[in-house]
């Protein structure tokens, strides 16, 4: 079992920055994929960024490329999402997720159905 807990959400004005954290515990492995997803009411959960821990490979949705960065601490116990130049359309509940194997295992890195472990989410609100 892998436990995930997000933090760091909040309210910010457009153009600002936030850093989300995802603390991991339980049976964590270097051979797993970690990712951030977001969801707004009435819409499906969408992949924001992914990280294959073993190689450090990263993946980003086109909407956030150049603005968001996914990374882990050296101990590989905390996953981060640094969000810069935030836009109103980035407003959503953000979730941390994990699955065993490469990010493309069982589905694309942005395929929420392929992820087994989820946190409870943290709200990000960007105002104009």
Question: Using CA atoms, how far apart are residues 85 and 5, in angstroms rounded to an integer?
Answer: 24
Cβ atoms of 71 and 55 closer than 8 Å: no
Q: What are residue 90's phi and psi, to 5 degrees?
A: -80, -5
More confident residue, 123 or 29: 123
Give the pLDDT confidence score for residue 87 in this predicted structure.
Answer: 98
Cβ atoms of 83 and 67 closer than 8 Å: yes
Give the pLDDT confidence score for residue 66 in this predicted structure.
Answer: 98
The 10s digit of each residue's pLDDT in 54-89 is: 888 999 999 999 999 999 988 888 999 999 999 999
Q: What are residue 89's phi and psi, to 5 degrees?
A: -70, -5
* DSSP 8-state assignment for residue 78: E
Q: What are residue 51's phi and psi, to 5 degrees?
A: -145, 120
The 10s digit of each residue's pLDDT in 83-121 is: 999 999 999 999 999 998 899 888 899 999 999 999 999
As a whole number, mean pLDDT of residues 13-38 equals 91
* Maximum separation of any 2 CA atoms in the chain, in Å: 41
> Of the candidates 90, 93, 95, 49, which has an alpha carbon nearest to the alpha carbon of residue 70?
49
Instruction: Indicate whether 29 pLDDT > 80.
Output: no
Work out the mean pLDDT of the chain and round it to a whole number.
94
Q: Which two tokens stand for residue 55?
A: 């190689």
């Amino acid at each position: 079992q892998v436990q995930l807990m997000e933090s760091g959400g909040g309210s910010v004005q457009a153009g600002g920055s936030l850093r989300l954290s995802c603390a991991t515990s339980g049976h964590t492995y270097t051979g797993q994929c970690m990712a951030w997803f977001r969801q707004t009411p009435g819409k499906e959960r969408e992949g924001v960024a992914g990280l294959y821990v073993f190689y450090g490979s990263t993946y980003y949705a086109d909407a956030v490329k150049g603005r968001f960065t996914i990374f882990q601490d050296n101990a590989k116990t905390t996953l981060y999402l640094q969000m810069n130049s935030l836009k109103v359309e980035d407003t959503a509940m953000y979730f941390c997720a994990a699955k065993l194997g490469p990010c493309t295992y069982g589905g694309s890195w942005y395929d929420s159905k392929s992820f087994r472990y989820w946190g409870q989410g943290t709200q990000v609100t960007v105002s104009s």
